[in-house]
Chain A
Amino acid sequence: MALDGNEKREFKVIGQRVNRPDGIDKVTGKALFGADLTAPGMLTGRILRSPHAHARIVSIDTSAALAMPGVKAVVTNADLAEPQDDFFRDIKDNVLARDKALYDGHAVAAVAATSRSAARAAIRAIKVEYEQLPHVTDVDDAMKADAPVVQAGRADESVPAGSSPNVTSHFEFGHGDLEAGFAKADTILERSFKTAATHQGYIEPHACLATLGHDGRGELWCCTQGQYNVRTICSQVCGIEATQLRVTASEIGGGFGGKTTCFIEPVALALARKSGKPVKIVMSREEVFRASGPTVSSSSDVKIGMTKDGRITAAQAKLRYQGGAFPCGTVEFGAQAAFAAYDLDAVQTLGWNVLTNRPKEVAYRAPGAPMAIYAVESVVDELCQELGLDPLDVRLKNAARKGTLASYGPTFNDIGLVATLEAAKAHPHYGAPLGENQGRGLSCGFWFNFGGNTCVSLNINHDGTVGVVEGNPDIGGSRASISMMAAEELGIGYDKVRTVITDTNSLGFNDVTDGSRVTFAVGLATIEAARAAIREMCKRAAQIWGIDAEAVVWEDGAAKPSGPNAGDHPPMTLAEIAAVMDNTGGPIAGHHEVNADGAGVSFGVHLVDTEVDTETGATKILRYTVFQDAGKAIHPDYVEGQMQGGAVQGIGWALNEEYIYGEDGRLQNAGFLDYRVPVASDLPEIETVILEIPNPGHPYGVRGVGETPIVPPLAALSNAVSRAANVRMHELPMSPPRLLKAMSER
């Protein structure tokens, strides 16, 4: 659906900073999240996890546990269905291990009991005999020929012959003559980088409440980014027909991509089926760290050639991502995104996905892009330093723009990179003075954005209010933006619209809340559903007036006669048409179903000033500014919120957050004390500048904004710290010990 041909449209509701509809529930404690629901006769479910990084499961003896008072059911992998598709079988074998425990924390068995203490005791009574196997947790080690094999036979046809069995897929993108390009360069830099695995770190652990009756019908309540996706997975993994499993999404306490799959839901359903009672499972924080999805860790090499006036002549990136014990596709996104900000004649990216004995990787905000762009933007910055060039001017000189052949294939349409860079250059932050041990860094960021399957119903009520029914969990205020778009299109007040997120049996299929798709795709479907309702309301008015429906237009929330009939009848408002709809043909509702394309790509630029402590290696953030193209900011507060929140997650990734594994392959920091996410006192104000370069694929010009902001902080921080400390950093996180060591070796 194309941008409306009225770019100078005066919006009435769009762009306002209205109160979100779920605000009062959330500030009073009334909102119900995953762990907040109970059911009569409910059991507590609990999961037994492997203490080993890699071990064959020789036997599981559950008899003692089952004999304990209050224990109603025990399940293992054998109690689940046998999906044919690898994708679902991997989820099954992740939620309960098949014949091998593949990582520290891998689920092995689960119990349901009448109390928390009974469940805990039963878990201890399950006897598992393990045969420990050699393990590997580092991506470069896992690619060696003699590496322990995590899972055999998982390589797809893309993997070059002679690769380690842990390599599961290989990607290659690019165009142009690399050799000729590098020959034109005045300076060529080639650097290697590493980034640690980080966790999405949502504050709400995974939680669900499942019932599965003797009639085979199930009810599932869970915190998820996509109830339809949960239904699909659980149907496959538990052997339930889709329509027999109604999934309702609770309020969700953060996701960031991490709640786009299942960990506990199929287990709770299996326990509910076996016990005949409702079963609730709530993960502990330790379980969240050990067994829900972190992002990939990466190892990469980037080579860039530049002329002495700052033109990039050729660029190459080799990216190696480990995504845990099951195949993942994440490096493909990294390889596509790496050079997206640049207009290049010769570019190549190569990517390898690799298995290790770590938890199965799950999406984390712009999955795959931050670590690739970190490496690229670090090399660009070092080249600028070496050639004495201004890093913003160099980005502008090489910036992708409309008509640029992107390194991953498409030719860009209207994109906001140049405007975003120019806004950064014009901002007072860029020219502000710096002191001793201080440095300024910048980085571009990019994300593709997504549209996808979307279904919306919009119901006109007799009293002139409107109900919007959609199917995408609201993680950051999307109910407000969807209501705003419905109100704008209908020409009524925001307070007359209520948007609800419904269960899987009450609306057609919707893709997960991911890919920064909701404001774009659900918004687009809401606008189209409103237009369908408007067409019907115009028809009803025409019927009342006895004129042709084509002779009626919708303006300012009312039907008006137009053309030769203009002025013959007073306008009929939405409320007036709704009040008499029983007599003009019955209920009025608009629908729209679409697999939306046209999600415009998104660019951002981050500027950061840091000061390094030469005695401790600690980094202090002095100033931080985010510039990003939102296409059209529907609710500016929540656009800024995405920009600020993404930036701070990236700051954590750059400075502190990492999965730390011991020699034994066990995770050593499975808690918020040792896995340190940013806290309020670590940070300054996060300034934001929203650019609005309309996306041609949305009627109001919306681009998704959720993911791009986590991309630039990694390189922006690394560039700022490298300049402040006068030593180039090539590994994340730049935790105090790592930075101190680098400074001592400079």
Chain B
Amino acid sequence: MKNTHVTTTVNGDAVEFICEPDETLLDALRNRLGLTGAKEGCGTGDCGACSVNLNGRLVCSCLVLAAEAEGAQVETIEGMADGEALHPLQRIFIEKAALQCGICTPGILVAAKALLEKNPDPSETEIRYWLAGNLCRCTGYDKIIKAVQAAAAEMRSA
């Protein structure tokens, strides 16, 4: 099968790449564009480590074909900080030790940012259910939930 040519926007920049027709957006981001921040933990949409934002929607990039990114707006973890300035979620995750190994962290940050854009004042239960699609095996989630709560509070008062 012939490869496909895709023109898309990633983190605000226009990019083009060639991919196999059955290639996932995750593989294209990682292997064609060198954006390895999104991780493959399962390849079946169960772990959320590959979370990215596609046209304003939180998706598992392992369940999206790369070819579907044609003409789309894709946002990844690599686009979350503004130059040297970390997003409040990123900074507070470090300050509150909300990561141990860090493999799930990009996906969780992308997912948490999507939540706070939708709901700036989520309850603990809302955060826990929103992040239920993002597996973390190290932390028991406790410090992650508290970091999201602290970031939400800071962003509301900003």
Contacts and interface: CB of A to CB of B under 8 A. Distances in A.
Interface of A: 17, 19-20, 22-33, 35-36, 38, 115-117, 200-205, 251-256, 282, 284-285, 475-477, 635, 637-638, 640-641, 644-649, 671-673, 677-683, 685-686
Interface of B: 20, 22, 27, 30-31, 35-44, 46-47, 49, 76-78, 80-81, 86, 90-91, 93-97, 99-106, 109, 125, 127-129, 131-145
Given A27-B86, A27-B90, A29-B38, A683 B141 contact: yes
A115 B91 CA distance: 38
A383 to B, nearest CB: 30
Contact of A24 (B49, B86, B106): B86
B137 A644 contact: no
Q: In this complex, which of A30, A200, A282 has the most chain B Cβ atoms within 10 angstroms of its Cβ?
A: A30
Contacts of B144: 680
B23 to A, nearest CB: 8
A637 B143 CA distance: 9
A649 B137 contact: yes
Given A641-B143, A680-B141, A680-B144, A31 B128 contact: no
Given A27-B93, A29-B77, A683-B128, A203 B86 contact: no
A680 B149 CA distance: 14
Given A31-B102, A203-B39, A203-B49, A285 B44 contact: yes
Given A202-B137, A672-B41, 18 more contacts: A27-B90, A27-B93, A28-B86, A29-B106, A30-B37, A35-B30, A35-B40, A36-B30, A203-B49, A203-B137, A205-B40, A645-B137, A645-B140, A647-B140, A672-B44, A673-B44, A683-B140, A686-B140
Contacts of B104: 203, 253
A33 B77 CA distance: 15
Nearest to B106: A29
23 contacts: A17-B97, A23-B93, A29-B76, A33-B103, A115-B20, A202-B101, A203-B101, A203-B104, A204-B101, A254-B101, A475-B101, A476-B100, A476-B138, A637-B97, A641-B138, A645-B137, A648-B139, A673-B46, A679-B131, A679-B135, A680-B129, A681-B125, A683-B140
A36 B143 CA distance: 26
Contacts of A20: 94, 97
Would you list the 7 A-B pairs with minimal beta carbon distance, nearest first? A29-B37, A253-B103, A26-B102, A648-B140, A637-B97, A23-B94, A644-B140
A644 B109 contact: no
Contact of B41 (A25, A28, A251, A285): A285
A22 B134 CA distance: 21
Nearest to A223: B103
A19 B36 contact: no
A253 B39 contact: yes
Contacts of A29: 35-38, 76-78, 106
Contacts of B99: 23, 26-27
Nearest to B131: A680
Contact of B105 (A27, A32, A282): A27
B12 to A, nearest CB: 15
A38 B32 CA distance: 11
With a 10 A CB-CB cut-off, give which of A252, A253, A476, A685 has the most chain B CB atoms: A253
B116 to A, nearest CB: 15
A644 B143 contact: yes
Contacts of A26: 99, 102, 105
Contacts of A635: 97
A203 B62 CA distance: 14
Contacts of B40: 35, 205, 282
A59 B73 CA distance: 51
A20 B96 CA distance: 10
Given A203-B103, A681-B132, A683-B141, A117 B96 contact: no
A285 B31 CA distance: 19
A269 B61 CA distance: 30
A252 B101 contact: yes
Contacts of B95: 19
A635 B103 CA distance: 21
Q: Is the interface of B mostly helix, strand, loop or mixed?
A: loop
Contacts of B94: 19-20, 23-24, 27
Nearest to A647: B140
Nearest to B109: A27
B43 A254 contact: no
Contacts of B136: 203, 680
A683 B135 CA distance: 13
Contacts of B49: 203
B36 A36 contact: yes
Nearest to A709: B140
Contacts of A284: 43
Given A29-B77, A36-B36, A256 B137 contact: yes
Contacts of A673: 44, 46
Nearest to A624: B140
B58 to A, nearest CB: 15
Contact of B97 (A638, A648, A649): A638
A112 B81 CA distance: 38
Given A19-B95, A35-B40, A683-B140, A672 B47 contact: yes
B115 to A, nearest CB: 12
A640 B143 CA distance: 9
Contact of B100 (A19, A30, A32, A475): A475
Contacts of A252: 101
A637 B36 contact: no
A645 B100 contact: yes
B39 A671 contact: no
Given A24-B86, A26-B102, A27-B86, A645 B138 contact: yes
A571 to B, nearest CB: 34
Contact of B135 (A645, A646, A672): A672
Contacts of A285: 41-44, 46-47
B151 to A, nearest CB: 11
* Most B Cβ at <10 Å: residue of A203, A204, A282, A673: A203
Nearest to B133: A679
Contacts of B90: 24, 27-28
A637 B97 CA distance: 6
Nearest to A285: B42
Interface centre among B95, B102, B138 (most CB of A within 10 A): B102
Given A27-B105, A256-B137, A686 B20 contact: no
B131 A28 contact: no
Contacts of A251: 101-103
Contacts of A35: 30, 36, 39-40
Contact of A637 (B96, B106, B127, B128): B96
A680 B127 contact: yes
Contacts of B47: 203, 285, 672
A640 B127 CA distance: 21
Nearest to A23: B94
Of B20, B44, B132, B137, which is in contact with the most chain A CB atoms at under 10 Å from its CB?
B137
B142 A686 contact: yes
Contacts of A686: 140, 142
A91 B40 CA distance: 26
A204 B140 contact: no
Contacts of B44: 285, 671-673
A256 B101 CA distance: 11
Contacts of A646: 140
Contacts of A644: 139-140, 142-143
Contact of A28 (B39, B80, B97): B80
